[in-house]
Amino acid sequence: MKNSTRTIRSGALGALALAGLLALSACGGTAEAEKPAAANASAPLFGQLPEKIQKAGAINVASNVEYPPFESFDTDGTTVIGIDREIADELEKQLGVTMDFDNIAFDAIIPGLASARYDMAMSAMSDTVERQKQVNFIDYFSAGGGVMTSAANAEKLKTLDDLCGAHVGIVKGTTEDADAAEASKKCEEAGKPKVEVTIFAGQNQAVLALQSNRVDAFLVDSTSGSVIAAESKGALAMGERYQDLAFGIVFPKDQEQLMITIQKGLEAIKADGSYDKILAKYNMADHTMESFPVNGVKQ
C-alpha cells in the first residue's frame, strides 16, 4: 500500500484511537449511511457516465476504511473522512451522482470489483503490473512503502536491509508482502536469518501488534505510516520511503466508460485547483500528480 511527516488533518485519529475504532470499522459493513440517490443531470460529466449509474444516481465505491490520511472513520464511527473522501466530494460535483463508500477488507477489493459488486474502489491501492492483469488503475497519488517500528527500534530497523532476523507485520493483500519476501531472500543469500512475517487482516491489527511488541516492524505505505507514527506521541517511528509507487483509483476491466469519466473528473478538479488544495490540506503537496494516467506503472 499505501512518506510525509504529519500535521495532517484536524481531528485525525491517533494510532490508539484507530485501534479503538476497530470494532466500528470492521471490514464488510457499509461505511457511510445510505445517501438518497439524487442525480444532477446538469453536472458537467453526468451525461458521460454509464446509463446504469445515471439511473442509480450513485457509484458504489469499495474501500478499506482504516487507512489515514486517505480514509478513516470520524469520531462518530460512521462518517468517512480523509483524502479519498474529499476527492470523491469534488468528483461528485463534476459527475452529478453520489460516491458511496463501502468498508471491506483490503484483499477483498479486487475480487469485489471482479464480481461486479462494486463499480470502483478508492483505497490507496498501489498500481502494479501484476494487479493490472485483473483491474485498471487511474494513478492519482505518488507514494511508496516504508518501515514502521517502535521508537526503540527506529535506529536499528530503518530499511529493508535491516530486517534480517526481524519479525515483520504485513497487511494481507498489500504490495509490502512481496517487499518482505524479496528482503528475506536477500538475507538468506547473504547467510543471514530470514525475515519472519505475520500477515494481518487490516492495518489496525498490525499497528496493535507493533505497539504490543508482537512484531518488530510493520511494512506500510510511508504516507499513512507517517500519520500514525506522528500521532503516536513518540511511541512509533516511520523510516524513509524505500520505493516510489503510485496509488490508483481502481476499476473492473469492463468499466472503461466509468474510468474515462472519472479521469476527466480528476482533470477538472486538478484544473480548478481543488485536487491540489486537498493534498496541501493534508501536508501532501509533494505527492500530487500533474496528470492521471491509466495503468501508469510499467514495471
In this structure, the answer to whether residues 83 and 192 fall within a common structural domain is: no
Give the other-Cβ count within 10 Å of 21's Cβ. 19
In terms of residue numbers, what domain contains 215?
145-238
1, part of any domain: no
Q: How confident is the model at residue 31 (pLDDT cuts 50, 70, 90)?
A: low
In this structure, the answer to whether residues 116 and 234 fall within a common structural domain is: no
Environment class of 22 (CB within 10 Å of its CB; exposed 0-12, middle 13-18, buried 19+): middle
Q: How confident is the model at residue 58 (pLDDT cuts 50, 70, 90)?
A: very high
pLDDT of 286 reads 79
- Confidence check: pLDDT of 202 > 60: yes
Q: Minimum mean pLDDT among 8-22, 153-167, 169-183: which range?
A: 8-22
pLDDT of 285 reads 87
Q: How confident is the model at residue 1 (pLDDT cuts 50, 70, 90)?
A: very low
Q: Minimum mean pLDDT among 89-93, 163-167, 200-204, 240-244: which range?
A: 240-244
pLDDT digits (tens, 9 = 90+) for 210-248: 999 999 999 998 888 888 998 899 999 998 888 888 999
Determine what percent of the chain falls in helix, strand and coil, rounding each to the nearest 5.
35, 25, 40
In this structure, the answer to whether residues 136 and 272 fall within a common structural domain is: yes
In this structure, the answer to whether residues 94 and 137 fall within a common structural domain is: yes
Residue pair 269/100 in contact (Cβ under 8 Å)? The answer is no
**CATH code of 191's domain:** 3.40.190.10
Q: Look up residue 238 and give its three cell numbers.
A: 516511520
- Stretch 139-166: mean pLDDT: 94
In this structure, the answer to whether residues 220 and 110 fall within a common structural domain is: no
276, part of any domain: yes
- Confidence check: pLDDT of 195 > 70: yes
pLDDT of 274 reads 98
In this structure, the answer to whether residues 87 and 192 fall within a common structural domain is: no
pLDDT digits (tens, 9 = 90+) for 119-128: 999 999 999 9
Instruction: Among 141-150, 236-245, 248-257, name the most confident range.
Output: 248-257
Alpha carbon distance 168, 274 (integer Å): 38
pLDDT digits (tens, 9 = 90+) for 256-290: 999 999 999 999 999 999 999 999 999 888 789 99
Q: How many domains does the chain have?
A: 2
Q: Which residues have a Cβ under 8 Å from the Cβ of 151 and sit 6 or more positions away?
A: 234, 235, 236, 237
Q: How confident is the model at residue 32 (pLDDT cuts 50, 70, 90)?
A: low
